[in-house]
Amino acid sequence: MDTVRIAVVGAGVIGLSTASCISQLVPRCSVTVLSDKFTPDTTSNVAAGMLIPHKYPDTPVPTLKQWFLETFQHLSAIAKSAEATDAGVHLVSGWQVFRSVPQEEVPFWADVVLGFRKMTEAELKRFPQYVFGHAFTTLKCETSAYLPWLERRIKEGGGVLLTRRIEDLWELQPSFDIVVNCSGLGSRQLVGDSVISPVRGQVLRAQAPWVKHFIRDGSGLTYVYPGTSYVILGGTRQKGDWNLSPDAGLSREIFSRCCALEPSLHRAYNIEEKVGLRPSRPGVRLQKEILVRGGQRLPVVHNYGHGSGGISVHWGSALEATRLVMECIHTLRTPATMSKM
């Protein structure tokens, strides 16, 4: 075949960045993104987009660190360029504070972010209930700008975006040669993955333009993330909860926790509630699979299950998925090896 036809299912940050990466790096291919939801209606749109990764039980730390580093470098280059404001990427500094000294005083990502150090006594005075903290500078990748920017890049590269709900990956044959599955929580139904489940997150979007720093409780449950158009106050981690409607009681409680960290937030205004379901899995599923049905073969590259760390590792993940796609193409283009499978 001359042009490999690639279908990417899912248009959140993982789907769009993988599609973009493939169209940049894979020669002689066409890329089509299919999804029932596009920005601003994806899970990624609710996320604050702060580059602070977390660990997954089943994903090795060196792999995670590599993905985070690749993402950080990729976004740093965008942040310095003329595209920065269109892409919604900017630097932000702040603090992560702990009520008790953590076991791991220096996290695995400390040398990836900028200027990482422990907080001084004077800095900790502002957080009377906290005894330890990190100060550093990282990037914020605002999905409300980043996703549309990725969509534009995909289209400029000749890619196509289609609004379509896929119920079965076999629908994509014979129109496509390779499928890249970035359907997040949708994989539960789409590929029958019972290991992926939602972790519900409720956040508030508010106006408080005087807040210039991020503040995060080391547990990750409470955070204040200032962005270009609003500050995000969070959050919740409700396992197995599929409810997409905001809960007013939870909103009050989130607001109160965030005001404890940053009292000036009492004067925040234009507060909106948002809910997202994190596609949570013990490990990110990033692997090839060949689906077989009635003599037909469909190569699939899975790239889903990033939980609360999607934006933090998305580019590293996209690069790995692209590499797997290239392996699939190589296999497809060398018929001799197929008989050995």
Partner 1 sequence: MRVVVIGAGVIGLSTALCIHERFSPVQPLHMKIYADRFTPFTTSDVAAGFWQPYLSDPRNPQEVEWNQQTFDYLLSHIHSPNAEKMGLSLISGYNLFKEEVPDPFWRNTVLGFRKLTPREMDIFPDYGYGWFNTSLTLEGKSYLPWLTERLTERGVKLFHRKVESFEEVARGGADVIINCTGVWAGALQADTSLQPGRGQIIQVEAPWMKHFILTHDPRLGIYNSPYIIPGSKTVTLGGVFQLGNWNELNSVHDHNTIWKSCCKLEPTLKNARIVGELTGFRPVRHQVRLEREQLHFGSSSVEVIHNYGHGGYGLTIHWGCAMEAANLFGKILEEKKLSRMPASHL
Q: Does 5 bind partner 1 (CB under 8 A)?
A: no
3, 24, 189, 229: which one binds partner 1 (CB under 8 A): 229
Q: Is residue 316 within 8 Å of 17, Cβ to Cβ? A: no
Decide if 246 contacts 202 (C-beta within 8 A). Answer: yes
196 lies in the binding site for partner 1 (CB under 8 A): no
Q: Is 152 in the site for partner 1 (CB under 8 A)?
A: no
Does the protein bind partner 1 through residue 264 (CB under 8 A)?
Answer: yes
CB 138 within 8 Å of CB 51: yes
256 binds partner 1 (CB under 8 A): no
Of the candidate spans 5-13, 114-122, 301-309, 326-334, the one that interacts with partner 1 by CB under 8 A turns out to be: 114-122
The token duo for 292 is 């077989």
Q: Which of 63, 66, 85, 331 is the binder for partner 1 (CB under 8 A)? A: 85
Alpha-carbon distances of 93 from 194, 214, 315, rounded to whole Å: 38, 6, 22
By the rule CB under 8 A, 25 interacts with partner 1? no
The position carrying tokens 């990190």 is: 134
Say whether residue 135 binds partner 1 (CB under 8 A).
yes
CB of 165 or CB of 267, closer to partner 1: 267
Q: Is 341 in the site for partner 1 (CB under 8 A)?
A: no
Among 57, 62, 115, 240, binds partner 1 (CB under 8 A): 115
Which of 38, 95 has the CB closer to partner 1?
Answer: 95
Closest CA to 184 of 341, 319, 338, 314: 314
Cα–Cα distance list, 214 to 29, 232, 234 (Å): 41, 10, 12
Q: Are 319 and 286 in contact (CB under 8 A)?
A: no
Binding residue (CB under 8 A) for partner 1 from 5, 37, 213, 323: 213
Q: Which is nearer to partner 1, 114 or 160 (CB)?
A: 114
Pairing of strands 231-234, 238-239: unpaired
Q: Which stretch binds partner 1 (CB under 8 A): 74-82, 161-169, 248-256, 298-306?
A: 74-82
Residue 126 in contact with partner 1, rule: CB under 8 A: yes
In whole angstroms, how close is the CB of 88 to partner 1 at the nearest point? 8
Q: What is the dihedral of CA 20, 33, 317, 118, to 10 degrees?
A: 80
Q: Does 119 bind partner 1 (CB under 8 A)?
A: yes
Among the residue ranges 58-66, 170-178, 225-233, 248-256, the one whose residues contact partner 1 (CB under 8 A): 225-233
Binding flag, residue 211, partner 1 (CB under 8 A): yes
Check: CB of residue 202 under 8 Å from CB of residue 277.
Answer: no
Round to whole Å and give the CA distance between 273 and 271.
7
Q: Taking the chain, what is the end-to-end CA distance rounded to the nearest angstrom?
A: 20
**Which residue's CB is nearer to partner 1, number 28 or number 80?**
80
How many whole angstroms separate alpha carbon 236 and alpha carbon 248? 13
Please state the closest distance from residue 240 (CB atom) to partner 1, in A: 36
By beta-carbon proximity to partner 1, the closer residue of 86 and 273 is 86
Cβ–Cβ < 8 Å for 319, 74:
no
User: Residue holding tokens 């310095």?
Assistant: 80
Asked if 114 is part of the footprint of partner 1 (rule: CB under 8 A), the reply reads yes
Q: Identify the residue whose tokens are 């009377």.
A: 128
Strands (E), 63-121: 89-98, 114-118
Binding site residues, partner 1, CB under 8 A: 80-82, 84-86, 88, 90-93, 114-115, 117, 119-120, 122-123, 126, 135, 137, 209-213, 226-229, 263-264, 266-267
